[in-house]
Structure 1
């Protein structure tokens, strides 16, 4: 998907195969020389009104004339020390704070022709040394009295003189800090984009609440200076946040430039609001802006200001921006990133580099503008030139474009995690949690628990709010705002969210969540329902509880019980009354209720036994679906709801699963029984068959039997079935082994459930009488699951000459070369999202239903 500021039709959709390791390869040689230097532009501004105030702090102010004069004196000292001519120049570092002296020193380096490296004075000593070593820069003292700059250690790096204006270091939040080489046009271009968007004029006072050593702080400073505005510097790291409003009023700030973290930390006072009447625009940087941040900023500080969500990266400046005016509705969750500035285009591309469909997620690519020259001392394929000769930069951010052509950020490409087979953006979860009352700040990460990826929400509470009450509110609200797989397993209250000096979340400083193991009572339980329910409740609440613990005392509320009922419906295919769950809120009571409800459901279906009508109405050709091993036919209900409403659907489940009967011992016996059942519903073809997992193997055997009987089987859809080497041994002994796909090992399942040895022995004995004796439904399903696996071990598929569609999940690598050993007709392979165990649940089941309908769409009912 592509978009630009004018909605122009996109050009080349993909990224060209012309990799450029450095942006110097993408420019014409004389481009930099035709651009006036940043200092030359500043000098022109100063000539217009030298007495105008340029920079002000709490301790000192300086006019434009004084700033340019002081910078020229210092620049002369630098040139004397390191030369004024020659093809190369030495990077010069300024240890920067938010002071007038820092601004003079920075302007001096820009005036000297040497590249400027701004290094935050609050960086830890070791990290500061690493940045200086990486830049190969000499360090200049700030001109505390406007005297010559003292030059320290000898240089180790030299760059093209006149071409390089600055070397800016990234935050390092996604790895080691990288030195980004910017030419004068790129530095000035960033400032021009900002001053145009905000509409800066000489009458403005730019309230810069960002350290000037940060990329955004440098841009805000230069945007103000190149506009002839007054720039007021205020570092929130060393200033009293409570004094912010008074300071903005004192300096007469008309715009405020701050990190999202600072805006998020604002809270409305108990008394009258200290409204800052002069502030007309607030520009935020660093992290995605949330709707709740907009509300807090207006309530605490500037109710009549436009809020600008500024999405920019060090390597190419602004990517997109959007404005929320005081009359606009405040969006929930993240504020959209917006639209590219004029002359720039944004593409959203997939892993193959091609533009994705509108609304789909992919990596955000910036085309045009004035990207950086490249990374200092290293190559990168993130910079390049497309087929039209336009430079581009891969941001590494995930985004999507909405129907209005506006960009929405979803997070970093490397932040997304798989939870239960679903791709989850932690930033989306954080946006939902941030809107909960009492949450001042939030960070969401992932952790590994028992070989499963789980989400962790860290929350800092608003002053005066009880932390545990906020945690309970987060759990309850998350279930209401988020799908089950996006609900954090752990909610960890913190006094504050640790952040780096740049205001980004310091993930390394976040404490690991406390993971408790199930009690001995849970570990030794012989009831599979109890064990499964315990896991479900732990997921819903984010804590592990004993079987008879009061769940209300553990943090459950009415929304938690609704969430548990939803999870029970997805996993056990029954509907629980949340009121009954809340009436006796313990794991054991909920497990008993599940067993009671599933037994009642089984009794209501007992008249059919094997063939279960799931939808009997409709004019289309019926679809007969064989369940996976041990699964009841009602597990297919989510699939039925997604299929064509005019298509009758029947489920086929194991004989004896829901009524006392002798179970079938072989796949052929089960297939024979199923064929007899479906011919009672539909005596003659055409037939459409489908099967999930083991059910796909049974469906193929049914198709062979119907074909032998002269019936027309127009399609068999096997849903993530696996042809193991054991299954194929008798088909073609000379053929190579089939690639094994990840399956389910029952012994591993039992180990996962932590059943005791007596419980395991009891289950082995139950398997011997399963069918003749009906056990609790969850236990019954597990027993028949194991019986199904044993049936498969003794089965050899017959060669089927008809048409087969194979649906595969990511864990299934078997292709048509494998399936051609048992299917001689047409074979269609289609990949579907999800995992083997959840592809028949929402949201993945929609894709499965779509592929099934595509496979059987052309089947028509013959006229009689």
Structure 2
């Protein structure tokens, strides 16, 4: 190691205050000493994987203390970190990994299928639990090496990687330590996603200062009231956020003054917002700086009644205002801002020409040794010799703090075969910036076919772009207006009236009063008409700030309150109205959930939960099954974190029989379940038959009779089974192509992300980093453990009815019986279907089509 790096500064704080709290997350409190010890384990894993100085290591984790441990471990190993947001589209993540040539990826094993294409080395963060180090790992970080590579929007249609070295990052952090200023008594809120460069201030600045990081969850970061409550409860003293987030907090009902230092950046700070913040905080600072010059390049303290300006450059940084010929601009004359100094990036990864274009020789350096970055920002010195931001000289925009090149969106949309040309503009609707994509199609489509084509184009955008770059509206147009130079006249496009534009997604119309009220509010906020009750709020251009405003408007109109947290799972009007109706009727929590309504004359299908207790796994199956039949899911008791958890299969079956009889008093019954859920369905059939009830079908979906398996043998083969599980995911992915492959990976990634959060929480508890009152946060893991044990203890009786077993084309090594252990127990006829799918795939698209077809055909007999 040479000179000063983040890790050497952090290490000094570990020596100074080993027992002080470094990180607090969801009740987990990690001391500086513990943080150093755990990051050492990450560095050790990287060393064992042969990571060298200068290598790039991908990092894809949910927000957690482990995420910070991994960051520090990567840096200590001498490598640079590449932040990969788990919620980015898979195609974007794939491009970033390939473009950066990152040979290593730290993630969680459940996310491995999300990266099925990745040829590098996977490192499972949970492995740190098994490591016992005998000595400290050597710090291999070097001030001249890269600290991180972060991707920003690029005009070519793909993001570009900005390379930041340690000396640039440490210069920034040490300058920030002085101004705006932070000390060991401070408590800094970390709310920014790691893929946004300003997160570097929230994470690294506290760690080199000896102060505390209080991390917000992804959900909290999108909810103004939750953020405000966290700031108060955790006694946070410093918060960095975009103007949009500060506005969201004020709109959530923030009135009182707090002992808070507020840093605001990422977008221009409006004067009216600044005035409101000054009434609520001790200090307000306006922050400015592009990613290419390391996070923030200047800051200024905002004073009431004075102009808002960019302030002076931070330490070892120079500003120059120049005209198009790179000559100095006089005070009062607008020009482009050039930035030079210690914060300058080493350039764009693998983009030499673009680096030469944007990082030029300093025209004011007579020796010609230094460079400057062309920001593209238009600025001027005002009469007080203060630097004011005026706008951009190109098509780059900032929306909610995110930097967006409109050409990237255009190029992605142009990849669609039906699109001849595309022009993207930003339009302000109801004080909210919206991305609008105008396009010329290669051939004119009928009114009947147009919605389908627009949805197809939107799907391309969703698969390739992060949510903040997806157009709120895609509007077909016969031809673009042109300027006298025959260029697309984007100014004219931006001035077009779009108030009558119709949504081309869902055609289902509102039926209830609540649905009609929500439609009206959505159309007013989003600036479009014709919204259907199955349209997705976020795909129509909504975002967390608008979601909070939308729910506030609904409460004002109806007096009914919907928690913002519901928007993360209920993103359509149909789903939101169902929540309202459930609250209205004061429904008691029940294991029975109507997944899909059908003909009351037909006996419904009841699907029993798997080991984790929820019924999300039947989502695709319910869509595919005969629409004339009602489908119910049965979720586990205790899933709400309150009810008693059943300890045996027999106990579950007896309880669930009562639930299904509440909607179907007599047979014939159709019941089934996946994996452990099949065992419960089998026991339900036994109990129903003994009581004289008719059972038409028992569906066992990949359910092995666990009583034939040796528990000790299973424990020995657990790691082997995990490896097999990952292999089976790859088998399923590789059997698909095109959209089907994408849909399958997205489905598995969505499930993996939910499990990841729970596993990290439980891992933290096992490491002694968490409070004991964390059970609700990983209830699915608790249920899984209890249910797995219940299945292992279950000894089924002989059944005289019909059983249908759906099994994959290959099986785990421990499950070798072709009849999955049911041959000697089913006396009424065991019908076996061998599906063309590997384990863990039969309930996901497109394989679920075969599964649903078999179930439909068996129920029609």
Query: Does TM, normalized by the shorter one, top 0.5?
Result: no
Q: Which structure has more RCO (C-alpha within 8 Å, separation ≥ 6)?
A: 2
| Higher radius of gyration, 1 or 2 | 1
TM-score (norm 2): 0.43
